[in-house]
Chains A and B, each alone.
Chain A
Amino acid sequence: MRRAALLLVYSLKRIRVLALTAGLLLAAFQLVLIFVAGSIQSSGGFDQLRALLPPFARELLGPSVAAFMSFSGIVCLGYFQLAVMGALIAIAVTLATTPASEVETGFMDLILARPLARHWVITRTIALTTLVSAFLLALMVAGTWTGLRMFAPKGVEWPSATLVNSLAVNLGMLALCWGGVAMAIGAASNRRSVAGGAAGLLALASFLLDYVGRLWQPAQSVAWLSPFRYYNPFDLITGSPLPYKNLVVLGGIAFAGFAAAYVLFARRDISH
């Protein structure tokens, strides 16, 4: 346990610059988004945007349009904007494939030549992925509240703390889910690029599957297979409570990935 903690500390030390830079950028993005939303709100732009939307689009998107095209909705966009989701998932995948990178460089030989059980390597990686993902989300939430205090126009309705936290938790679980998938692949791989690439392609395919499933009726029957189906920010914005079923599904996938990683890594040959 003490050895695994030591390994975790060194791993955290190694990625501290990446984590801090990514966290500050994500937090800065929240500030910019709130500044833009404040400007649109002050100029009465949201009413004009809603009026410009054609009726068929309003019908297609449902009541979430009204909720999204508001100051509060744009603030929440910081939690489901494609680049933000992509960055969080990419970082989770990168961290989750740390064992593959260590096998590739030969560092794993030095680690495992010590009296350290293999399962601690995976436990360290889970802790690393979870801690850094949580840190990034915490900085994003901090960015949101800082931005609201700095740039929100007077009298405008802020998104509730429950809404912001629900979005952050659901997004965090989505990132962790992909971390779990990547960890399972990475535990059996000798190359981080192969493991990360495979996990990234799977994530992209899943995203497209979910996207198509939302727009095209026949694809809905298989869209449930996509983990992205279990992150519905528009439902949360319209006031729905955080569906725990979604968290259970995403957490379940992550857990299955972690469990597979333990088994695969324990049984594999370490050769580079």
Chain B
Amino acid sequence: MAPISIRGLTKEYGNVLAVDNLNLEAVQGEILGFLGLNGAGKTTTIRILLDLLRPNSGNAFLLGHDCQTDGLRARANIGYLPGEMGIYSDLTGREVLDLLAGLNGHVIDKQRRRELQDRLEFPESDLRRRLREYSTGMKRKLGLIQAFQSDPLLLILDEPTEGLDPLMQESFYKLLVDAKQRGRTVFMSSHVLSEVERVCDRIALIRKGELVLLSSVEELRKLAARQVRVFFAEDVPVISVPGSEVIETGPRSWTLKIEGPLAPLLRTIATLPVRDLEIEEAKLEDVILKYYRDGTREIEREIEREIEQ
């Protein structure tokens, strides 16, 4: 049973197609990053999963339960962090946590809450304060505590690190790793590509409501272009290297951008007087940004062609 299963999901707002025939499945125990530009349909998809929005067609399932027809059971074991924490500002942090834990129907695990407080540096004194006195970062931390406090099987997090300082982001990443190690599934939307690259197992990229990429981070990294600099001991002529893009050439150095395997380059330079070779690590961002910009099936086909070669 997939923790999240989305089948042919479509959502229209009047003439605007927010989500277009989306198919997606999360695997148990993985961290699935859900990427896309503003207005791509990420939040709409998350809101359909929570039955806040009703799709025009298609189905979505959480932990095997249909989000629309069996919503109560679907939401019985999830933790949700919304993009914006809309909470009663006249309640204290503790009251908010108690209320949301109570609405989940779970017994409040004070030890787990205290542990989360410690890890996110959220002291008891802050829990006693009213939310109107909270900063954006404090509200975000409170949001994370409420999402994680019942140790749910599935975590749905919308832009979780927005408003968190770098130290807290680190703590949050550790929370994610812990959750994953305990077999929990995390579905998180994010704009921060470096964060996604670091913590996610797989990436689903949505553009104009359409899923344009679903891949493991490892696979994607293989497809990313690497910058390679070759230094020669003496002057060499410029020779074209299959599968590479020339960025800069000099008499004793070449700078190339290579997508895919390095074998063609190595074959080409094998007979040349190579003094040194510098290979920059592939940046996932480059691939994702390409999808953001073009986002068509063409890119997929292009990459598939390169793999085949």
Contacts and interface: CB of A to CB of B under 8 A. Distances in A.
Question: Are A and B subunits of one complex?
Answer: yes
> In which size bucket is the chain A interface?
20 to 34
Contact of A117 (B72, B84, B86, B99): B72
B211 to A, nearest CB: 22
Interface in B51-80: 51-54, 71-73, 75-76, 78, 80
B90 A269 contact: no
A266 to B, nearest CB: 10
Interface in A119-141: none
Contacts of A3: 102-103, 105
A271 B48 CA distance: 11
A115 B79 CA distance: 11
Interface residues of B, number: 30
B50 interface: yes
B104 interface: yes
B87 interface: yes
B252 interface: no
B50 A112 contact: yes
B77 to A, nearest CB: 9
Interface stretch (A77-85, A102-110, A145-153, A180-188): A102-110
Nearest to A270: B52
A7 B103 contact: yes
A111 B100 CA distance: 7
B121 interface: no
A104 B85 CA distance: 12
A125 B222 CA distance: 55
A269 B53 contact: yes
Contacts of B47: 109, 270-271
A272 B83 CA distance: 12
Interface in A93-108: 102, 104-108
B85 A114 contact: no
A158 interface: no
B88 A14 contact: yes
B53 A110 contact: no
Given A109-B86, A271-B47, 4 more contacts: A10-B91, A14-B91, A114-B103, A271-B53
14 contacts: A2-B105, A10-B88, A14-B88, A104-B86, A106-B87, A110-B80, A111-B103, A113-B75, A113-B80, A113-B156, A114-B100, A117-B72, A267-B54, A269-B52
Interface of A: 2-3, 6-7, 10, 13-14, 102, 104-117, 267, 269-272
The 10 A-B pairs of least Cβ separation, nearest first, read: A106-B86, A113-B80, A105-B86, A114-B103, A270-B52, A115-B72, A115-B76, A6-B102, A107-B86, A269-B53
